[in-house]
Each structure stands twice: as C-alpha cells, then as structure tokens.
Amino acid sequence: MLKICIFLLIFNQLVIFAAWGANLQCDKISNIERFDCFPEYGSNQVECERRGCCWSPPIGHKKLTNDMDTPYCFFPKDFPNYSVVDKQTQSNTLTYTIEKQNSTFRPNEILKLQVKITFDTKTRLRVQITDPSKHRFQVPIFNREFKAYPKLNNIDETDYQIYINDNPFYIKIIRKSNGKAIFDSSVAPLIYADQYIQFSTRLINNIFYGIGEHQDSLSHEATWNRYTFWNRDIAPTINTNLYGTHPFYMSLDKQSNAMGFYLLNSNGMDINVNPTPALTFITIGGIVDFYVYLGPSPSDVIAQHTELIGRSQMPQYFTLGFHLCRWGYFTSDKLYDVIKRNRAIGIPYDVQWTDIDAMSERLDWTYDKQNFTLLPEIVRDLHEHGQYYVNIIDPAISNTPNYYPYESGVKQNVFIKQFDKDEPLIGVVWPGTTAFPDFTNPNTTQWWLEQASNFYDIIKYDGLWIDMNEPSNFVDGSINGCLGDRYDEPPYVPRVLGGALNSRTVCASSQQYLSSHYNLHNMYGHFEAIATYHALRSIQKNKRPFILTRSSFGGTGQYAAHWSGDNRATWEDLYYSIPNMLSFNMFGISQVGSDICGFSGDTSEELCVRWMQLGSFYPFMRNHNDDVSKDQDPAVFSKVAQDIMKKALMTRYALLPYFYNLFYKSNQFGETVVRPLFFEFPNDLETHEIDRQFLVGPALLVTPVLNQGEEKVNGYFPNETWYDYKSGDELKLTKGEYLTLEAPITDTNVHVRGGHIIPYQHPSQTTKQSRKNPFGLLVALKQNATSKFALGSMYWDDGESLDSIDTKNYNYFNFLANENGLIGKRVVYGYESRMILSDLKVYGLDKTSVSQVLIDGQFYDNFDYDSDKHVLRIKFFNVNMLLKDTFDIIWS
C-alpha cells in the first residue's frame, strides 16, 4: 500500500512537471508580471492548473502571511483570448466584433463580444465592450449629450490614437504628443462571463491616485494590493470597502503628463494592483464601459472627468460656515444649552444639527415631543439669530402599523421587493424592522417629497442629512434571509467585509424598479440624493438644496455634499481626513470634510484644537460626535482652547469669499476647491506623494500639525514665492525644499502663493452677518521676467438662489496688480449689492518706501508700509470705497 501511494505521488508530480514543461509560457513570467488567475480564497495547484494557468512559488521569494502577495497561480502568456473578426468605422466611432473559440474556466462565458470605441472629445474617449446578442445591465446615468464639447467627427483632431491588436485582441491608447501608451490591456487576458468580467491595464507610473472610497494615503504605490467596492456601513478602516464607489484613477508619466481613467460600472468590484505596474479590474456584472482622459495637467483630468459625471453643486453660502452636531443631545434643553453657550463665547457658528436621538422612537420625519419638546422653538430661535438647522433622515422606514410614511409607501409601491414575492423586503435598522425605499422608482420621488413636505410644515429645516444609505441593515439581507440565488451567492464574490454581498445590507437578489439590487447597490445613496435634491427644490423653491450624504457614486456631487463617515478621535484619523477630502475633490464632490475632533471615542483638548485648526480649511466644516463620548463643542474646553478655536474660525470666515469663488469655479469649470500640491506643481516630483499638506485653491498652502505634542512641523515648499498668510513674511527659497516651521498650539501655518490676489471679508459670528461686512484684498506679488504681478477674481451673489449663474444674477470681479498698483474690474454686474472695500494688503512690495497712495486719482494718506517686510497696508476709513465697475489704486 505504501509503495502504491509513493508511486501515485511520483506519478502526480511527473504529470504536473510535464504539464509545466509543455507550457513554456509559464517560466518566462517574472514575479512582477504575474496576473492572478485565482483571485478567490483558497488557491491551490490542482484547481489552478484545471483553469489552464501556471502554478509556481514566486521565484526567490517567500510567500507572506498577508492576503495580497505575489500569486502562485497566474495566467500564462498564451492563455486563450479574444480575436478580432470584424471591424467597422463610422464617423467618430470604431466598432469591432471579437470572438473566443472556446470557454475557459469562468461559468457562462460570453464568446462573442462587440467593442465600441467612441472618440468623444479631443481629450476624452470611451470604450464599451458588450454582448451583442443579449442586453446586459448598464449604469442608468450619464446618458446625455455633453454641453461643453461637441462630438468629434474627425478623429484626427484628437490628442490620442488607438491601436487594436487583432490576435490576441488588446487595446492601446497612445498620447500623440509623446507616443506613450496611457492605456494598455495587452498585459493580461480579457475574461467576459455573465457574472465575472476581468481586464487589466498597464500603469504609466508606479504611483497613482483615486480608487475610492477607502481609508488610505492620497497616492497609491503599485505593489500587491486590492481595493474592493461594495458600499458598506463601517467605520473607516484600512483595506475595507467603505461608503462610496468611485473606480476612477489618475497617474502622471515621467514628463508629468497626467491621464485619468473611469470605469462606469456599479456592480461589486475588486481592483487588484500589480507591481508590473498594472491594475486589474474584476466586476461581477454590467459591462465594460470606461473613459480615458488625456489631461495633460491633473486639473485638466478632473475637469474632463466632472464634465462627464456632472460638476459639483454650487453650495448655499451659509453651508460654508461652521456646523455643530452630535448624536446624544438627548433633550431639547441640552441642545439649547449647547447653542447658547457657544453663542455666549462668540464662536462663529452657522448651522445646528440633530441626530437620530431627536426623533420619536427613531422614526423618520418625526421629532420626539417628550424629550425634544422645544425643537420647533429652537429652530425658530436659530433663524432669528441668522443661523440654520439640519436634521437627519435615514432611508429605512419602519413598518410599524399606522406609521404614515410606511402605509403611504406601501400604497404607492415604493419599497424594495423580495425577489420572489410582491411585498417589501424587511430588514432591521434604528427603529426596528424596516422597509427600504427604492429611489429608482419614479413613484418614490413624489412619495419622498410628500414626507419631506409634511415634516417641513412642522420643522422649518434648512437642509437634510441622509445617512445609513449604503443601505445599512443590522441583519444580513432581511429578517427572512435571502433567496440564495446567483445574485446572493455569485460565482465570484469581491473581498467585501463579511464575506458576502448581503453582509449588513439588503439581499442582492431583491428587486428594484430599474433592476436587481445586485446591480444597483452601489448607487443606492446616489439615487436617494437625487430624490432628496428634487424634494428640497420643491419645498424651498428657488434655493439651492443642501444635502449631506454618506454613500456616494460618480456624479453625486451634483446633488450633495459628503463627509468621511464614522471616524475616530485619533491623530491617525486626523491625518486621513486630508487624503479623503483631496480624493473626493477628484471624484467630483467638492464640498467634503470629516467629523472634526472625531466621531467615536473621547477627544482630547489638544487633538480637538488641532482638528478645529485643520477643519477650518475643509470645504465642509462640521464638529460631530457620538452618543457615548463626552461633549466636544468649543464651549466645553478651556478658555485658552476656546480662544484658539475662535481664532481659527475667524480665519475661515474671513476667507469665505475666496472659498466661494473656488466653489463657483468648481461648479462651472470642474476645478477642485482643495487640491494636492502636485496639481499646481506637477513637474516637481517631490510633491507627488505629499498628503500631509494641501492647497486651498491655487493660492493657500496649509501645513497642519498632525501629531500629538508637536510644536514644530515639517513642510515642503515648491520653488515659488511664498508669504506667511498673517504677517506677510516671505520665505527665502532658491529651490523646492522642506522647512521646519514653528507651530505653537495657538496657530496653523498657512502660506500665500505669490502671483495671487485673495478676496476676504471681515468676519462675524454668522455668515449672514459677515456678508454685510466690508471686503478686503490680499495681494501677494510674484516676480516674472520683467516685473512683479498678481491676479485674482471674486464671484458674489445672494448666496442661495438656485439660478444665480444661469440668470447672471451675480457680480464677478477680476483683479490685476503689479508693484505700482491694483486695478479692479467688474466684468459681470447682475446682483444689486453694496460691496465696500475696506482694506488692502500687499505682500512682496520691494520698495525703499511708499510715500503716496492714489485711489481713482485721488490722494489718500491712511496707509502703512513696512520696508523690512515689504508689506503695504491700506485702510479705507475715510472714503466710500465701493467695488464698482472699475477702480484703481496706485502707490509710489
């Protein structure tokens, strides 16, 4: 018996060796060129070779214990692939028919496919790969004509060219200017099955950005890694699928030319990273439908991407102020105490929020009339003080008897259905057993408006916070389990937290109006944001809706702001807030921030102070924490801490005109509000991985303290002119370099970039008060070839009207300065407002002295010039200095 076993063992090894030897394509593949043929758990040699793949321990490498490492099972070079059998050219479209002779190891493989390549614009193209014989699910958004760019008819006008290899089929997209491929699918085979699609592309660099939503650094290195997409309610955790789906990435080549890629697919997905460098996209449904953007600058890429998915909303002005919230006020008396104590110490403060504890039994569209008796009066009091109120709404609707939102929803057929029954799927969320609205159903939009309107009649809220909309579920699937069909248990499951698609959400097999939840899960929050947007437009008439959403998809920024979810009161989470907001600006959601001081866990005074300082530069600024942590609103801390927080907030409120102008440019042109340094300095390679500093627009560089106990901070300054924001002191640089800066707990390091003019406004405790105050201009001069100069602009409207831009009901100013003066010109005049300029600061004015100042030709003597710091300050105390059509200020 022993001899037989030994013989069989030897025979088996000989068979394996023979198989290996018969496939000479296996031993020619280096470690970094291996593409995983067994991305599921439990790879083994027998199953690997049944797939027709290579099995071999990595050469000269010991396998690590972590999940992602050099695969043992990988594709041979001659793995079966598709071949081109037909080609047609029409106008700006190339259409190919590709076929594969035999199925490989994935079930229900589709052997005949159609490839459609559309030359969309000069700098953007689209590739779709579909089953020509059968309709497959496609993302039901973005199917519109693009206003900004006409469709191309002459493909020679493009900045790219296409190369298609016939056998085996692969695509290369080449940048004409340098002949380099920016997309190259030749690195691994295309697999296209009913519930498994896989394709790869070589990266142009081993550093790339995007691929969200994940808790991660800003830049990603092309090492063995995996990013999973299946929207999930979970506190931000590394290597875990989180709240949103944005399969977009950007990379820069060695000449600093940027390119972007976006896969328009809403199904569960893994993106595997190889050190080749390459990315492999694995999605469990839909079609291959991707866009490639040519840039060539990082900002160009984002503009091209947001032109496709939709530009970020223009926010109401008050939403740029400071927001205060917590889950755990518990009573209206406690809530009112918090409001009054922060008013009393003069904290700039615009918006008060309530969480689910203000609801009656945690039921949507209610308030607790016992514990929050005074809530209607508190909201009226907020409005009387120029403040605003936002309340939370979770999508899950309690199925308790006689609860109107549920009873009316059943009648209007608005809830997600169980797969095999014409009745709502029931899960469990905060109020107990719940049904889940189907926001893809047209009936739901009207029903949602009705609920929102009914509650608005009781509480005059100013915005809505839509949370738990992944959708979150406290049981897996439903209270009755799931069908267990091919949607609940597909042949391949991405590496989702919990191991199953139904983990803490609804059944993938459940049915929605447009398709199965399997196809629509990652867009649930997106469709809720759309329905909420339309509800608020109807209720608040011509005002821009303010919505904060946790779950997001490509294009959500048109309708809602976003925050990074249930973070923790840790220094690590303080840091992660920076790459998160920078990434979401790339994803087209400009108004983004994190829960300041942390959502869970007790903060410390030092951490909260530092977080308030950093948060003063978030596009969306809210302090929020949970029901078991201690209070963390500014008024609960020491007088010293209160003063520091107030100082940081005053800086923010002063800069709101600058922020508002950036939001205008984001809405109209696709610019980012906050951005990484490499967006402005792509040729400086040192900037490419910096994510502990960031820029607000092109002109403000923020270098925050992110570690406990530090009173110095190390920051990188590109070879540019930089001034201290408050003092005007110029940094002396001869090249890009790291500098160690003093960073006492009282201050944040902010520097102004030469060549820019920043509008600001004297701050008050609310934006409503601040908007009545005079403006100022900060001129930061920069030397060019012949002289010093600075440029700037300012957008200004009533801060709330939905159609301000379309109707030109706004003012727009351009500013130009040199070493001798400043000229202002109002190029759009549509908003009647008395806009007064009260002061002017000029940094970098390299003169021995300034003896006179002329305003529109009239001498003015209220100015001060510091010849050591080269700073000129002018105060317009005795003149009625209006920001009018044109004005000039001359100094000498």
Helix (H) or strand (E) holding 663: helix 639-669
CB 761 within 8 A of CB 773: yes
Neighbours of 4 (CB within 10 A): 8
Which tokens go with 409?
A: 């929803």
Say whether 584 sits in a helix, a strand or coil: helix
Torsions phi, psi of 376, nearest 5? -60, -40
Peptide bond into 471 cis (omega under 30): yes
Which tokens go with 480?
A: 């009755």
Beta bridge partners of residue 778, listed in sequence order: 758, 841
Q: Is 139 exposed, middle or buried (0-12, 13-18, 19+ CB in 10 A)?
A: buried
Among 694, 466, 492, 446, residue whose Cα is nearest residue 563: 466
Q: Which of 253, 270, 467, 566 is catalytic?
A: 467
What are the angstrom distances between the C-alpha of 2 and each of 14, 322, 630? Answer: 18, 78, 69
Beta 853-855 vs 858-860: how paired, if at all?
antiparallel
Give the span between the Cα atoms of 574 and 599, in whole angstroms. Answer: 11
State the DSSP code for 437. B
Catalytic status, residue 800: no
CB 229 within 8 A of CB 522: yes
Total H helices, total E strands in the chain: 14, 51
Beta bridge partners of residue 506, listed in sequence order: 477
Say whether 633 sits in a helix, a strand or coil: coil
Maximum Cα interatomic distance, the chain, rounded to a whole number of Å: 111
What are the angstrom distances between the C-alpha of 676 and each of 559, 616, 755? Answer: 24, 17, 19
Q: Is 752 exposed, middle or buried (0-12, 13-18, 19+ CB in 10 A)?
A: buried
CB 35 within 8 A of CB 278: yes
Among 183, 302, 284, residue whose Cα is nearest residue 682: 302
Give the span between the Cα atoms of 678 and 251, in whole angstroms. Answer: 11
Catalytic status, residue 470: yes
CB 555 within 8 A of CB 247: no
Helix (H) or strand (E) holding 269: strand 269-274
Give the span between the Cα atoms of 473 and 485, in whole angstroms. Answer: 20
Q: Is 798 exposed, middle or buried (0-12, 13-18, 19+ CB in 10 A)?
A: middle
Q: Is 369 exposed, middle or buried (0-12, 13-18, 19+ CB in 10 A)?
A: exposed
What are the angstrom distances between the C-alpha of 692 and each of 359, 404, 702, 715, 796? Answer: 39, 49, 9, 8, 31
Say whether 541 sits in a helix, a strand or coil: coil
Crossing angle for the helix pair 524-539 and 442-456, to the nearest 10 degrees: 50
Q: Which of 233, 300, 394, 470 is catalytic?
A: 470
Q: Residue type for 682, please? A: P
Beta bridge partners of residue 492, listed in sequence order: none
Give the span between the Cα atoms of 129 and 140, in whole angstroms. Answer: 16
Rg over CA atoms, the chain? 29
Give the span between the Cα atoms of 832 and 837, in whole angstroms. Answer: 16
Q: Residue type for 48, please? A: C
Torsions phi, psi of 155, nearest 5? -70, -15
Which tokens go with 554?
A: 């490509």
Catalytic site positions: 467, 470
